[in-house]
Amino acid sequence: MNGIAGKTALVTGAGSGIGRASARRFAAEGANVVAADIATAEGRETVDRIRDAGGDATFVEVDVADTDSVENMVDVAVETYGSLEFAHNNAGILTDFVDVTGISEARWNRIIDVNLKGVWACLKAELPVMKSQGEGAIVNTASEAGLVGMPGLSSYSASKHGVVGLTKSVALEHAERGIRVNAVAPGPTKTNIQSGLLGDRPGGSTPSLRDRLRTALRLIRTAIRTVRADYDTSAMRDVPMGRIADPEEIAGAVAFLCSSDASYITGHTIPVDGGQAAD
């Protein structure tokens, strides 16, 4: 990718899954990486892996739902590396499969606070730095659930539709200032997030690959069963490519959108979904 080496990339949710893959990809492209996560052990492990591979990375603990914590994260990034050219606002949590009437207010608020307000808080802290530099590229992690309805995942889907709208609006606000803002919409991806079915577990132990795959497949099967049994919709669909994504495949799209190869792309949400959105 062109235009990434020697610059600074901030990734939230960098302790696991898509965020870890993104942090490692930015480092492989020659960027200095600020790996931020609420889970300190996992975030530090990402940094260790980058350093072991010869890259430069720093860990920052952050709760993206807390604006003070997010401002501190951006301050640390700029103090450490002197600039901030790229941000991947990626941290997110999933919810239980439940009808909209069954969601507790606390659970609804936490999903929106992390997945939507968290992206807003990151943008609010990152953009002034990028504006002062006259350059920057931001990628927010939305979801397939931000493009179509997901029965049983209404709070998650609402939060991700919000990320898509936020991305468009902020991109328009900054299009003439040399700052691009896009989003990726991953389809089902092999990460820990499926354990959101069992509740938040930031900081918890990392399940084995076998367990994570089993959970991912259970999520998909549960979704399909839920649709067939309870909902009149075809929103949950099989993946045309016949497999779920590796996190590195989402990270590749993030790196592309930040690179100068994507210099004329802003305000868009790119599905990275094995063809799901086309079906």
Selecting among 81, 156, 231, 264, the annotated active-site residue is 156
Please give the angle made by the CA atoms of 36, 42 and 43, to the nearest 5 degrees. Answer: 20
Strand partners, 89: 140
Identified binder of ligand NAD from the candidate list 192, 215, 266, 276, rule CB under 6 A: 192
From the list 32-40, 101-109, 170-178, 233-241, the region that binds ligand NAD by CB under 6 A is 32-40
From the list 16-24, 73-81, 124-132, 255-263, the region that binds ligand NAD by CB under 6 A is 16-24
Of 40, 59, 35, 50, nearest in space to 204 by CA: 40
Contact 250, 18 (CB under 8 A): yes
| Terminal Cα-to-Cα distance of the chain (whole angstroms) | 29
Give me the least distance between CB of 206 and ligand NAD, in Å please.
9
Give the strands of the sheet with 57-61, arranged side by side.
57-61, 32-37, 8-12, 86-89, 136-141, 179-186, 269-272
Is residue 231 among the annotated active site residues? Answer: no
Strand partners, 141: 184
Residue number, 7 or 117, with CB nearest to ligand NAD: 117
Binding mask 59-98 toward ligand NAD (x if CB under 6 A, else -) reads ---xxxx------------------------xxxx-----
**Size of interface with ligand NAD, in residues (CB under 6 A):** 30
Q: What is the DSSP letter of 59?
A: E
Query: Is 151 a residue that touches ligand NAD (CB under 6 A)?
Result: no
Chain residues that interact with ligand NAD, rule: CB under 6 A: 12-13, 15-19, 37-39, 42, 62-65, 90-93, 114, 141, 143-144, 186, 188-189, 191-193, 202
Q: Report the catalytic residues.
A: 156
